[in-house]
Structure 1
């Protein structure tokens, strides 16, 4: 039986159309990337690529990104996670399936997630049944745990293994606390090459129903490659359809 795959984290962009300042020092990624390109990557493997979750790209012009994503009607785009600054009065694109405020960028102050405005924004997202996509600096995992324990009703999907810097005691404690929350999920994604020991620890903390496969394509090409990451995921998880499909369906409310 062919393995069905939902990629819970991919990006698209066109530097000829969009201004992405963070690409300035990354010439390897200064190209156009489309959902059709991603589909071609999966076609190299004997899997059934059902589609994936588009995650905002930290573009300079957020409204232009909203427009480009809105008009992209490729059916492989199963969900769209768009950019907003989290608050109870945040602007949310009408078609968004969830919100991300990048917390891993230098412009974000430490402790942002602990601000009352941010926490109230998470409660607003919970009321709207919109998940929050969490991308944090690894050393701030304890802050993430402290904040999210205050809003356990919100569905939070953590990117890139929480950018866990290692298996130090503070990181392990924070990941264990995050994994115990009822509505938190975490992605095993190709940011830096994945450390199987960290994957093993995170999998134990979150359990088999809250761990999501993601490629982080095309950013995965910076320090690894799509092929190497996907092959490692197959080696670590076999053909586990919870990991490769079902958990993403549950986390994002995907019906397919």
Structure 2
């Protein structure tokens, strides 16, 4: 499913029905949000965004650090890693410059960034080399789960060369992919053993998958998790729920638990996917609260790794 269809189909997900607070309730663990989006539509043009679509009613305005601070108030977010927002290619440098300046200001939780890039583009080597050893830019992402991405794209020689370059530069690459193409990315990872990868959104697991599709996703996730240079991110799959108000913690648990089980407690991180998550939840807090409920029976040390420690280690925060 491409990003536009993914979002349009997912005016999704819902508010979590929460039990009344009790004295035994533990406070939310400190959070490093590894998937924070910000955009100013007066300055940036997003390649995927169409204000005429249903998601435009939710996302069709600017989302700034001020709004993020308000959205995460009281949730426990102590640091955030900016995630590129799929700007048009000619604005990639401007986006990177903006987020580096924000990190340097130290006025917000945003302390690191994954910037946009096209590994198979002619100018990619020059563009990427500026981030070697960068204090704030930790990696690159290209959104690949769009209909414009042809089958087999990630295995083309020029693309693979760009991904290998990232490893040489000490930069990671985020995999934002169509679930059915996970086997291609296993092959990509095998060809780039010196590059670190992050698999976004639990491999874009879809809550509307048929049992057969879910079984295939589980097998493919288990296979890519065998690759020790890949970490998983529990993030924006919540937007694939069939409709607002139609998901429960029990719907989320199989995806979260399988991801945690195959990657292990040391290789999974939480990502808020704000503001895109607002297509599926009424407020930011609903998503980490739901996840906290899913993992409540796991050891507290593992919960801390998921919400905080693994991100600090992986990104060197």
Q: How far is the alpha carbon of 1:168 from its aligned partner?
A: 3.4
Using the alignment, how far apart are the partners of 2:32 and 2:66 within structure 1? 15
Q: Given the alignment of the two structures, is residue 107 of structure 1 paired with residue 148 of structure 2, yes or no?
A: yes
Q: Given the alignment of the two structures, is residue 210 of structure 1 paired with residue 267 of structure 2, yes or no?
A: yes
Q: Is the 8 A contact 2:37 2:84 kept in 1?
A: yes
Using the alignment, how far apart are the partners of 1:234 and 1:175 within structure 2? 22
Q: Is the 8 A contact 1:142 1:170 kept in 2?
A: no
Q: Is the 8 A contact 1:175 1:205 kept in 2?
A: yes
Unaligned runs of 5+ in 1: none
Q: How far is the alpha carbon of 1:241 from its aligned partner?
A: 0.9
Unaligned runs of 5+ in 2: 1-25, 242-250
Where does 1:57-206 land on structure 2 (aligned, <5 Å)?
Answer: 57-60=85-88, 61-72=91-102, 73=105, 74-87=107-120, 89=125, 91-92=127-128, 94=131, 95=134, 96-165=137-206, 166=209, 168-191=214-237, 192=239, 193=241, 195-206=252-263
Task: Output one character per residue of 1:80-125: Cα deviation in whole Å (capped at 9) or x when no partner.
Answer: 1111111473622545321111111222212111112222222211
Change in Cα spacing, 1:99 to 1:118, as seen in structure 2 (3 Å) is: same
Q: How far is the alpha carbon of 1:39 from its aligned partner?
A: 2.5
Q: How far is the alpha carbon of 1:10 from its aligned partner?
A: 0.9
Q: Given the alignment of the two structures, is residue 223 of structure 1 paired with residue 280 of structure 2, yes or no?
A: yes
**22-31 vs 163-172, which moves further:** 163-172
Q: Aligned pairs, how many?
A: 252
Using the alignment, how far apart are the partners of 2:229 and 2:272 within structure 1? 22
Greater RCO (CA < 8 Å, at least 6 residues apart): 2
Give 2:79's aligned residue. 51
Q: Is the 8 A contact 2:154 2:188 kept in 1?
A: yes
Q: Calculate the aligned-residue CA RMSD, in Å.
A: 2.1
Using the alignment, how far apart are the partners of 1:116 and 1:213 within structure 2? 32
Q: Which of the residues 288, 292, 295 maps onto 1:237?
A: 295
Q: TM-score, normalised by structure 1?
A: 0.90
Q: TM-score, normalised by structure 2?
A: 0.73
Q: Given the alignment of the two structures, is residue 12 of structure 1 paired with residue 75 of structure 2, yes or no?
A: no
Give 1:253's aligned residue. 316
Q: Is the 8 A contact 1:6 1:52 kept in 2?
A: yes
Larger of the two Rg values belongs to structure: 2
Using the alignment, how far apart are the partners of 1:90 and 1:122 within structure 2? 14
Tell me the SS of whatever aligns to 1:100: strand
Give 2:10's aligned residue. none
Q: How far is the alpha carbon of 1:30 from its aligned partner?
A: 1.1
Q: How far is the alpha carbon of 1:22 from its aligned partner?
A: 2.4
